[in-house]
Structure 1
Amino acid sequence: MSMDATRKPLPPLLKLVLEVGPLVLFFLVNAYADRLGLSTPERRLFPATAIFVVATLIALAINYALVRKLPIMPVVSGIVVVIFGGLTLALDSELFIKLKPTIVNTLFGVALLVGLRLGKPLLKIVLDSVFDLDEEGWRKLTFRWAMFFFVLAALNEIVWRTQSTDTWVSFKVFGIMPLTLAFALAQTPLILRHEVKREG
């Protein structure tokens, strides 16, 4: 048996740290960059963006080193972070990093709907090892998550266009995650109704 075949999934706590860690660093650097001498108060988002890009790449590298596999959604998000974070720094414009959540969530929503249209619920590929649902359950869950991603994209547009940069950063870190967890928990009744019972 190969070593890859015996690799275990990441422990839940480590997985959470790798997924949320870059966001937390993004928030902290944005909050304290001027006090640390990294920028002026009005330009804190730029060192925060640089740290966000680097931390995201490190988190993906650690994930791959441990399990020799990268989850689809963090990879897509990471690619967009690098592209839009790089544009933010190269062009000295906050616009691009603020657009990143809109682009990522729209991409996920569109991908899920296209998969449904083609008769292939992509969420089943992402979550198959977590849930075992019947086909109707996968279709309904996929559609709900697609709509939720569009809502997140719309919320991001509203917040960054109407609020201060600091408020947007706080929403990105402390708003989107709780909303996502609350939405995921709200899908429990659907999952229980359509769960495939395995023979014991």
Structure 2
Amino acid sequence: MTDETRKLPGWLKFLLEFGPVLAFFIGYVKLKDMTFTLAGQDYSGFLVVTAAFIPLMVICTGLLWLLTGKLSQMQVMTVVLVVVFGGLSVWLQDERFFKMKPSIIYMLFAAILGFGLMRGQSYLSGVMGDALPMRPEGWMILTRRMALFFVALALANEAIWRLTDTDTWVNFKTFGLPLAMMGFFLAQGGLLKAHGIDRDEG
């Protein structure tokens, strides 16, 4: 089966990639003020929603793999860290582990990209090359910017979960992070114009 025949409709790809995050937000809004007693232990609504988010994330990522035949390294790392840190939050009844997960994910991404840059390579081009055809020098510039952007996201997440309430952090995670990512790529228009190539260029 070719990559073309395994390409997902846009709505389905969006649902599988962002559906778990939106479900987490809706669940949190509905259950945040509730406490649940399970096996003699009290769990906040946040922890119950986190416990539901973990298998939902695993299932959606698994469906992406089954339907497309591939997952990016970022997707694999993300689902692993969701399982580990989400599981720790539920097991230890400490929501801080789940809140620091985005910081760790973004710092890992920054470290991986930075390691590639030190080797004179753009690992980002291997992940996004099909979507954004660019010359090598363009990829190096974008990779440097992306690494710094990931560091900024990690620092922002740390500041928000440590200095504000859970409501603010959930809104930041659900809406702030995706909007920041969208804004970052929109801001790269000049770079793409300067270093982009036509798909049929040799």
Structure-1-length-normalised TM-score: 0.91
**Aligned mates of 1:14, 1:5 — CA distance in 2:** 16
The residue that corresponds to 1:126 in the other structure is 127
Per-residue CA deviation, residues 57-89 of structure 1 (Å, 9 max, x unaligned), is 011111011112112211111111010001111
Q: Is structure 2 residue 40 aligned with structure 1 residue 39? A: no
Name the SS for the 2:71 alignment partner: coil
Q: Which amino acid aligns with 2:17?
A: E
Q: 1:69 to 1:165 in 2, by over 3 A?
A: same
Matched residues, percent identical?
38
Q: 1:98 to 1:195 in 2, by over 3 A?
A: same
**Aligned mates of 1:165, 1:131 — CA distance in 2:** 36
**Aligned mates of 1:6, 1:180 — CA distance in 2:** 26
Equivalent residue runs for 1:51-130 within 5 Å = 51-130=52-131
Name the SS for the 1:9 alignment partner: coil
Structure-2-length-normalised TM-score: 0.90
Confirm or deny: 8 A CA contact 1:113 1:143 kept in the other structure.
Answer: yes
The residue that corresponds to 1:142 in the other structure is 143
Partner residue of 2:8 out of 4, 7, 10: 10
Over aligned residue pairs, what C-alpha RMSD do you find?
Answer: 2.1
Q: 1:51 to 1:143 in 2, by over 3 A?
A: same
Structure 1, unaligned runs of 5 or more:
none
The residue that corresponds to 1:20 in the other structure is 18
Q: Which amino acid aligns with 2:13?
A: K
Structure 2, unaligned runs of 5 or more:
38-42
Confirm or deny: 8 A CA contact 1:31 1:44 kept in the other structure.
Answer: no
The residue that corresponds to 1:153 in the other structure is 154
**Aligned mates of 1:185, 1:134 — CA distance in 2:** 19
**Aligned mates of 1:97, 1:49 — CA distance in 2:** 8
In the TM superposition, what is the alpha-carbon distance from 1:30 to its structure 2 partner? Answer: 1.1
